[in-house]
Every structure is written in C-alpha cells, then in structure tokens.
Chains A and B, each alone.
Chain A
Amino acid sequence: MFVVVECKYIVYNTSGGIVPGKLNVHLVPHTHDDVGWLKTVDQYYVGSNNSIQVACVQNVLDSLIPALLADKNRKFIYVEQAFFQRWWRQQSEAMQNTVRMLVSSGQLEFINGGMCMHDEAATHYIDMIDQTTLGHRYIKDQFNVTPRIGWQIDPFGHSAVQAYLLGAEVGFDSLFFARIDYQDRAKRLDDKKLEVIWQGSKSRGSSSQIFTGAFYTGYYEPPSGFYFEVNDDSTVVQDDISLFDYNVQERVNDFVAAALSQANVTRSNHIMFTMGTDFKYQYAHTWFRNMDKLIHYVNQDGRVNAFYSTPSVYTDAKYALDESWPLKTNDYFP
C-alpha cells in the first residue's frame, strides 16, 4: 500500500498588529521558572532530577533563541534573572550579541526583572527591593534596558507594597498577576473590574498608582486546549489537508470562542492570552509552530485579530485607549 503525502511549504503570516475595530488577542509567550520548588534551583537550571519534574531552564533558553530568530514577529518575555544570569554567563560572545539584538529589537523582553518572582505575603519590603535591584541593575548593565512591567503571576495574594513600591516606584507601567480570592475574582468578572488602577499606599495615593490586571481564569496558563509543550496533549493545529485529522476550522473556532469568553469580562477590545506556564518552551519550536498557524488562520477567518505580543505592548494598547479605569486601594489579601 502506498500513501504518498503531498505536503507543501506554507508561509504563515504572523506580521499583524493591533486592528482598531476588532477584538485584539495578544498572544504573550512566556515561561514561569520557579527558582526552586519541587527541585532545587541548580536542578531546575541544568535539568537534573527529572524524575521529580521534567524541567530544565537551560533547554528553555537554548531553544528559545533559534525559535525567535526564525521569525522576527515572534516575541517572548523572560522573568527570572537568577536563571537568566546563569545562562547568559555561559554563552559565547556571538550568542550574547545575538541575544542583545533580540532584546534591543523587542523580540525578547525582560519582565519583572528581579532575581526571582518574590512572594508578597511573607517578604519584607527591603528584601523585595534588594532582590529586584540585583536583577534590574544586571539587566541595565548588560542590555541597557529597564523592565517596564511587573509580572507576579504565581504568588498567592498581592500586597500594597508590591503595587506602589515594587511597581510604580520601580518605574513599571503595569502589574499583572493571577491569584486573587475566588470570590473577589467572581465579583470582578461580573463588574469587569479585573483591570484597575491600584493605589496601594494611602500616603502616596495617585502619585504611586499602577495599572493592574488580574488574569480572568485565576491562572497564568493558556486557554484550555492551547498547551503546546513538546509533551502536552492539546490538539495541535493540523493544516495539511492530506492529514486525516486536518482541523484548522475546528481550532480556529476554539480560539475565537476562548477569545470571546475572555472579552466578555474584559474592558476594551484588547485581551491577553498567557501562552505558557511552569517551565515551558523546553522545545520552544512546538509552541511557536502552533501559534504561527493560529495567528495565520485566525486572522484569515477575521472574527478576531491575533498577534504576538508582550505585556508592554498590551499595556500600551490599553493606555492608548485613553479610558478611565476602576480604582483599587488596599491590597489583595487574604
């Protein structure tokens, strides 16, 4: 029996940006790399002790660079400097130059930028400042850039000090996180108040406020069914018509449905899909391959507008709308 599969090269159009009249879906590729959790910080970096958890930060950064080079529209954010610095010091000059280029073009953006994503409940503000400074100064020194966005997606509960001190006073333009009380989230979903202006300090008031977004699912993961790690079981986009499981229309429909349900609880026509989770992009290509296809086919479909983005791009888009946002004071505890 002969099955000769007739495939051809497809150019995926990933060049789109914001389209004013449409629902804009910002795809934000990211990885969340705990500097120690089930494994130690060394073990996570080098990828040892994989029987406990399959996680190797070196794989993430190694595979990320060629994936970004393959298409200049692809973007990525990296957060934990404790890992990034290790990796950076091990790179050749040529690789460092490549990465500098990716950083200066905005394809690779440092977000949060502290050594780790600090906790907000059990930490002292001086320690929070110190660890952030350590990371920020290194980034400034090596890349001459300053992170613009706070990205506290995993800590449980969020402190006022994070908002006004480690947010506004650090010079961040916005702050994002995932975990707030479920009742609070339910109310904010109803009221479309997930995105607010947070004045964390009554002493500093509006002079230290920050635009703040809580993710609508309470997680920092992609919409369900859009996980594309090398060993994930989400349905990949199969756009070769000779495949039995050709599924472009189906996946586009899923994507649009996920976008609309998020848009229902979000102010304005900009929403963010956080494309990644813990220790993902160990083989970055699987994510980008599928997102390339989604962007291409979703935009062909035309109901919503999808493109590679970062929290900075997202924040700028929200800002450009020139709208008023609900006010939030105090903090997000317990």
Chain B
Amino acid sequence: MHDEATTHYIDMIDQTTLGHRFIKEEFGVTPRIGWQIDPFGHSAVQAYLLGAEIGFDSLFFGRIDYQDRVKRKNEKSLEVIWQGSKSFGSSSQIFAGALPKNYEPPSGFYFEVNDASPIVQDDVTLFDYNVQERVEDFVAAALSQDGRVNALYSTPSIYTDAKHATGRNWPIKTDDYFPWAARQLEFFKGRNRSGPNTDLLGDALATAQHHDAVTGTEQQHVANDYAKRLAMGYVEAENLAASSLACLVEPMTYSGCEYATKFQQCPLLNISYCPPSEISLSNGKDLVVVVYNALGWKREDIIRIPVGIPVLILVMYEDITVRDSAGRILESQLLPLSDTHVSLRNYHVKAYLGQTPSKTPKYWLAFTASAPPLGFSTYTISSTKTRDGGSTRSSVQLFRRQEKSTFEVGHEHLKLTFSAEEGKLTHYVNHRSSVNESVQQSFSFYSGYNGSDEDPQSSGAYVFRPNSTYTIHPQKQDVLTVIRGPIIDEVHQQINPWIYQINRLHKGKEHVEVEFTVGPIPINDGIGKEVATQIMTNLESNKTFYTDSNGRDFIRRVRDYRTDWDLKVNEPAAGNYYPINLGIYIKDDKKELSLLVDRAVGGSSLVDGQIELMLHRRLLRDDGKGVGEALNETVCVDNQCQGLTIQGKYYFKIDPVGEGAKWRRSAGQEIYSPFLLAFTEQDEGNWISSHVSSFSAIDSSYRLPDNVAILTLQELESNKEVLLRLAHLYEIWEDKDLSVMEKVELQKLFPGKQIVKVVETSLSANQERSEMEKKRLIWKVQGSASNGAKLSRGETVDPSKLIVELAPMEIRTFVIHFDKTLTGNVFYA
C-alpha cells in the first residue's frame, strides 16, 4: 500500500505490477479494488492511473481532511465518482469511497486477540451476557452510516457491485485529497449487564479453590465475582437443603414428598441477622428449628439465634421455652445483644441487602441441641406463662479497669480468671484434667512495609512484609462486661475503637471460644496494618510448633529453621508464618496448647509458649506481584465506603500432653461442618404433631467410630449409585487410642438399601483403585526409604462382609451400587 504523497508514479506502478503479476500467475485473477486506507492524503494519480487505468472498479481510503469529511458526511458525499485527470476526465474515473471515520470498525467492534472491545457474549450463563446490547450498538453504528441494516460477510468488490447495482448517481470529485489534517478520535466503553446464570455451588466452590481466588491475590472486582458466584451457589444449595428437609420431615408416604413446609435459613447469622428466628412469639405461634448434623456421629452443640421477644412478655414476666423433639423442656438462656453486634448488623444488612432492618432483636437465645449422625432433630421455641422451665436471663456485670479485683467465668470443669485491673485474661484452669496455666492474650499490628528505592518490595496481597510491630494496649478507660448464665458465659471487651473481643465458655465444652471483630482498620496515618493476636503461656515449646496441612496432617515447624537447607533469617516474623486451615499447636513435656480456626489464616509461634494468628490486613501498596492493587478492601453503604470489618472465631484448649489430638480432630470436624439450621413456624403445635421430628440416615443402632469421618456422600445416579469417601482422622502416633486401624460397616450406613457392588476408586473417583495401583510407577529413593513406621492400609472390601478398614490418615473412596428395586429415604449432604 504505497504512499500517495511522496512516491513517484513509476514506482507506484512498478510495485503494483509486481504484485498483480504474481497473483495472476498463481491464481489467474486480477484484483478489482483499490484499497489505500492508511496513506495520509490521496493523489489524483492514484485515482485515475493506479485506479481506473489498472482496471479497478473502485477505490477506498480512510484519511481525508477532517473538515472535508465533516462536510461530506453532512452532504452524504463520502462516496463519489472521482475524475482524477482533467485530461482523461470521465474516461478514467473511478468510484471512490472515503470511509466515514477511519479504516477501523465502528468503535466498540474491535476483536483482535488483545483488543478491549466488549465481545459478543451469547452464552446465557455468563454474567455479562450482552447480545441485545451489542446488537443495538451494531444497529446504531450502521444507522449512522447509511440507514440500512442487514449484515453480511462481504468484500469491497461485493460492496462496489452493490453500490453499482443501485443505478444511482454519485457526486463528482475532481483533483485530489490533499493536504491532510486530523483530530483525535474518541472511543467509548461498553457497559456490562448481568445475565442469568446456572452455575452450581460445586462449580463456584471449585473455581474458588483456585490459587488466586482463595488466597486473595485476585483483583477486587474478581473477588466480587467469586463472592457473587458463591452466593448464587449458596442460594441454590440452600433451596436444595430446604426442599430435602421438607421432604424428610413429611411422614413417609408412597406418593413421595409434598414439599409442604417452607424452610428458611440464615446465611447472615454471622452478623446477627436472622429474620425467620426473629418472629414474634405470641398467641400460640411457635418457632420450629430443625437442626441438621452432617457428621457421622451424634453431636451436641450450642445453638445461638437472635430472637424477637414482644415487650409485653418482658414486662409481664412471661417467658420463652425451648422443647426438644420429644416435647421435653430444655434449659435455655437469653443473652443481651451487644451494641457492637447491633451496629455491625445494621450496617452490613444495609450494605448487603440495601435496607436497614426495621426491628432490632434485643436477645440471643441459647440452648444445647443434639442431633443424630447424618440426621436432624427438631426444637420448638414458644412463649409461655409457666414460671419454671423458661429461659434464664443472663446476669450482666461490669468491671472497670481501676478495680483491683479478679473474677472467674466458666461452668463445670473449665474456668478462666480475668484481672479487672489489667483488663485481661490471666489464668486457665481445667479441674477435670488438672491443667492450670497462666494465659495472656494480646493484640498487635505490623506496619506494612511500603517499599523504597533500595528495597522496593512492599507488603501486599501476596507478600507479608512488615516494617515493624506495635503492641495494641487495651484502653485505660476500658470496661470488661461479664455475661453469665447456665449455658454460656461471656467476657466482652472493647480493646480499642476498632477491635472488639468476646471470650466465650460453653456449658459442656472444655475449650474457649474467642470471637473477634476487627475493623475498619484506620489508615489515615498513611500506614497499612496487619493485625495479629497472641496467646502467651509458660509452655516450654522449644521453638517448635505444629500447623496443619490443608486441614489434614499436622506438620512440625521449627522457628528460624528449615529441614532442607540452612536458613538465612531475613524476615523474622514473615519467615516463620505458616498457613493454618484447621489449627496450630505447641507443647512441652507436660501440656499442649491447641488453637483451631474457623477460616484460613496465617500463624506462627514467634516466642516459646506463644501462638500468634493474623486476623485482618489492610494495606496501601501493591506488592508488585501482578495483581496491581493494594489489599484495601472496603464495604459501602450509599456509596460511602469504609474499610472492611471482619468478625471471626478461634478456639483454644490446653490439655495434658498427648491428649490434645482428640479435641483438635473432633472439634475440627465440627467447625468445618457446623449444624445447619432451618426455620419454620407453627400455630398451636400443629406442625410438630404432623411431621417427622427426628431422623438419622444411618442405622439407628450405629454411629461412625470417633476416628472416622464421612467426607463425601453424593448421589451419582438416583437411588442406584453413590460416591462415598471415608477418612481416618488421625495420624500414626497422634493419639494413643485412636491412631489405630478402624472398621466401618457399610451396610449400616445405608439402612433399607441393598448394596450390590462396592467399587473402590482413586481419590478423584475416575478410575478403579486396583487399576491405578497396577499402573503406578514404583520409584526408588536414595538412602532409607521408610520412616520406620509399620505402614498399613485397609484390606480390600469383602463383598460378603462389607466392612471398610481404615488405617491412620487413610482416605478411601467408593462408588456403591444399590439394588434399584429397593428405595429408601436418604438425605445426601
């Protein structure tokens, strides 16, 4: 595409000839169209000589003077008959079209590999489905040109022929298109629109395990996208759970399930928001709570839900009672909702749902629920005039910092002692296990390193790189609020304006639950902060601590040391931080301190006897690892945004050495699979009397052993085939009683079903285990190959016995086939 301003016509002809001859020789064709779209300005020679005389039927180009173009657009004279030569006149004329803007697509229709135009997204499952929008853009772009819309793949030849076939007259153009001037083009950016989507929670969860998702190293809008997918999947799962429960609570009929009961759940219970439990209890209207337990053993846990109590009841000394499936009255407790919880609730409900809740519940109702393995039980909550058997109101006591006193909380075995003067926990005593330990808890923050010329690595989403560390001292005017009752004791403390903490002890449990509310982390000093908490004991842990590997094995860590090389300690804190998904523990020759988490966090033991956890991070710099954003998340109401506030829990327990594993493993499973609560209402006891109020999917005489969990129970083919994964929860040597070969009776897991075949598969269930083992490559290891332990695996399942053996840490996966003629009522988690 030669230039037309600075070229000699002979050269123009030569170079054109060269090309045209080659085409003729190879293909026997002759080009029909001149296409000078990029040169600046257009010459008369081009029109008549390199156009008409070459035999072109038309000539197109992009760049003419911008004022010329404006005028031609107004007059619809972009397309003309160009007579470039006075001499040849009409004998050497050519149809010439100046393109309306440039030789590019209409703006927003650029589809190169690396273009940014909104592409056409015609898959209705895409969030950004945009067919109508793009069609409208396309039509608009076409209308701005010539008013007809019928899109087709074409060439300038076809276009020229079409123009020619109209038989119209075209404006005449003589001379040339010089000189040339231009001005800047403007681009517009397409808007996105949400479309329907059918992704399942499984897909969303699978995607969220991606190493840039769950880790927080994605850009904020991508994090939002994950959250949206998870929320949509959650709603779908919620509906599925509700309809499954509705099915199970119906009395067994041959016609199947009616789905008569509309169950509701409370995904926002973490911010104290649960409309179905906050209904007014009066005039015989009761709240029905179905408690589902996804674990394979019977379990007791404390339920805590916000309840709406009419003022009348409070004044008239009426009361609330909780009854179990058999109608027995249970002990229960009312706890006041703290101001911190109320404001957190109101702000976030507004942020998530767009409106502030109209009523604010004043109380939490707490009671101990128990549910059978893989099953549920039902509780009814009602108002009553009976004086005995009603809920106990908690006592509330305030301790000011200046008081030189200590106080104790706790129920049976476990007691915590606090010093009012110091404003903190001082002692942990378990009278049953005779553990007595001094415990102090503190907060601190690391200031994020901001990078410099010599050392540019900032702290960010990927990189924890603290500059220095600061202790957060509890406020001097601080008050400790102590709430006591038969089910729960709590010690509330406002540590500073943006940290609130509750130490909570549950009746029947021997661990401490710590609930922390952190944020918005202030950044008006221009410093990013990473907030950590420490639990300090006198344990002589000798630099050693243990953290879990993805919630499974515990791995021994030694401070400032690596087993595989001589460590140069450059980052004394960050270099000792390990990921924690289940928990962390330390021990000496007498005791062990275990701490379990409810989310993935970082943690360490930076001093002997201590455990440190990272709770929240807010940073102002990108760490240059690719995400291009600082880790500075916000939550917004009416476009007013503030730093993110997080609320979470961790749990700690001190045991005589060697006894901690039982709690870490069992409680770990309970934290991973909390009770699922579903709510409905009844009038005059009509619901409970007409529905199944307790249920277990497995044989009623059976429960899984303490050291075994069901990881997966998933229907592959209705009533015919299920995927079952069983896991031994203990490592070798981890517990003196439970680190042993265990047995599970398969038939007891599926009462009422006839197991016809059990196929053991690889972990991801895509091949038979035996096949996998046959194919497996056997590698040789240098030096000693074994760690000295006697390694065992469960034996192949004997189809006549249907017993699954599980060795420590073994996970076995089975596809189980049933006789389809027998159907049972099984609820798959």
Chain A contact residues, CB within 8 Å of chain B: 2, 34-43, 46-52, 54, 56, 59, 82, 86, 90, 113-137, 139-140, 146-147, 152, 154-157, 159-162, 165-166, 169-171, 173, 181, 183-184, 186-188, 193, 197, 199-207, 209, 211, 230-231, 282-283, 315-316, 319, 322-331, 333-334
Least Cβ distance of A101 to chain B in Å?
Answer: 20
Contact A169-B211, Cβ < 8 Å, known A140-B767, A330-B555: no
Min CB distance, A330 to chain B, in Å?
Answer: 5
Q: Does B86 contact A (CB under 8 A)?
A: no
In the bound complex, how far is the Cα of B522 from the Cα of A35, in angstroms?
32
**Complex partner residue of B206 from A115, A152, A156, A330, CB under 8 angstroms:** A115
Of B18, B118, B785, chain A has the most CB atoms within 10 Å of the CB of B785
Digit string of B687-715 for contact with A (CB within 8 Å is 1, else 0)? Answer: 00000000000000000000000011000
Chain A residues closer than 8 Å to B551, beta-carbon distance: 123-126, 161
Within 8 Å by CB of B555, from A125, A128, A160, A283, lies A160
**Contact among B206, B221, B712, B786 for A40, CB-based, below 8 A:** B221
Q: How far is the CA of A328 from the CA of B563 in the complex (A)?
A: 9
Contact among B723, B780, B791 for A207, CB-based, below 8 A: B791
B811 close to A334 (CB less than 8 A)? no
A173 touches B776 (CB 8 A): yes
A129 touching B763 by the CB < 8 A rule?
yes
Cβ of B781 within 8 Å of any chain A Cβ, yes or no, is: yes
Residue B508 interfacial (CB < 8 Å):
no
Contact of A123 among B217, B578, B600, B776 (CB under 8 A): B600
Q: Please, which residues of chain A bring their CB within 8 A of the CB of B626?
A: 37-38
List residues of chain A with CB within 8 A of the CB of B213. Answer: 35-36, 116, 119
Contact A116 B114 (CB under 8 A): no
Which 9 pairs across A and B sit closest by C-beta, in order of nearness?
A187-B565, A115-B206, A121-B579, A136-B764, A122-B600, A54-B114, A40-B225, A116-B210, A203-B809
14 contacts between A and B (CB under 8 A): A36-B226, A37-B626, A39-B219, A48-B118, A49-B116, A54-B114, A118-B209, A136-B764, A136-B765, A166-B763, A202-B733, A206-B781, A206-B786, A211-B779
**Contacting A231 at CB < 8 Å: which of B114, B209, B217, B568?**
B114
Distance from A44 Cβ to chain B, minimum over Cβ atoms (Å): 9
Given A130-B202, A325-B780, A113 contacting B764 (CB threshold 8 A): yes
Q: Is B222 an interface residue (CB 8 A)?
A: yes
Among A43, A152, A199, A328, point to the contact of B787 (Cβ < 8 A): A199
**Separation of A35 and B206 alpha carbons in the complex (Å):** 10
Checking A117, A188, A331 against B210 with a beta-carbon cut-off of 8 angstroms, the contacting residue is A117
Q: A170 near B211 (CB under 8 angstroms)?
A: no
Chain B residue numbers with a CB within 8 Å of A134 are: 202-203, 206
Contact call A201/B564, Cβ cutoff below 8 A: no
Cβ-defined contact, B779 with A325, below 8 A? yes
Of the candidates A37, A113, A140, A156, the one whose C-beta lies within 8 Å of that of B222 is A37
Q: How many A-B residue pairs have CB under 8 A?
A: 323
How many chain B residues touch A (CB < 8 A): the figure is 99
Q: Quick one: which of B114, B126, B217, B574 contacts A42, CB cutoff 8 A?
A: B126
B396 at the interface (CB under 8 A from A): no
Q: How far is the CA of A315 from the CA of B115 in the complex (A)?
A: 39
Which chain B residues in 745-776 approach chain A with CB under 8 Å? 762-767, 772, 775-776
A181 to B565, CA, bound (A): 10
Q: Which of B203, B739, B784 has the most CB of A within 10 A?
A: B203
Q: Is the CB of A161 within 8 A of B549?
A: yes
A203 touches B808 (CB 8 A): yes
Cα–Cα, bound, A39→B218 (Å) = 8
**Closest residue on chain A to residue B562 by CB atoms:** A184
Whether the Cβ atoms of A118 and B210 lie closer than 8 Å is yes
**Contact status B787-A122, CB under 8 Å:** no
For the complex, give the distance between the alpha carbons of A48 and B785 in Å.
51
Chain B residues near A154 (CB, 8 Å)? 211-212
Q: Tell me which residues across on chain B come within 8 A of A202, comparing CB atoms.
A: 553, 731-733, 787, 789
Within 8 A of A (CB), among B232-259: none
Partner among B222, B549, B579, B600 whose Cβ is within 8 Å of the Cβ of A39: B222
Verify if B121 is at the interface (C-beta below 8 Å from A).
yes
A134 to B581 alpha-carbon distance, docked (Å): 22
Q: Which of B127, B212, B462, B731 has the most CB of A within 10 A?
A: B212
Q: Is the CB of A122 within 8 A of B214?
A: yes
- Closest residue on chain B to residue A186 by CB atoms: B565
B113 within 8 A of A: yes
Specify which chain A residues have a CB less than 8 angstroms from the CB of B785 in the assembled complex: 197, 206, 327
The reply to whether B218 and A169 contact each other, CB–CB distance below 8 Å, is: no
**Cβ–Cβ contact A146 & B762, under 8 A:** yes
Known: A39-B219, A137-B765, A209-B781. 16 other contacts (CB 8 A): A2-B14, A37-B627, A90-B123, A116-B213, A118-B214, A119-B215, A129-B725, A133-B763, A136-B766, A161-B553, A171-B767, A202-B789, A230-B114, A324-B781, A325-B782, A333-B547
What residues of B have a CB within 8 angstroms of the CB of A56 in the complex?
A: 113
CB-defined contacts of B767 to chain A, threshold 8 Å: 140, 146, 171
Q: Are A128 and B627 in contact, CB atoms less than 8 angstroms apart?
A: no
* A233 to B649 alpha-carbon distance, docked (Å): 50
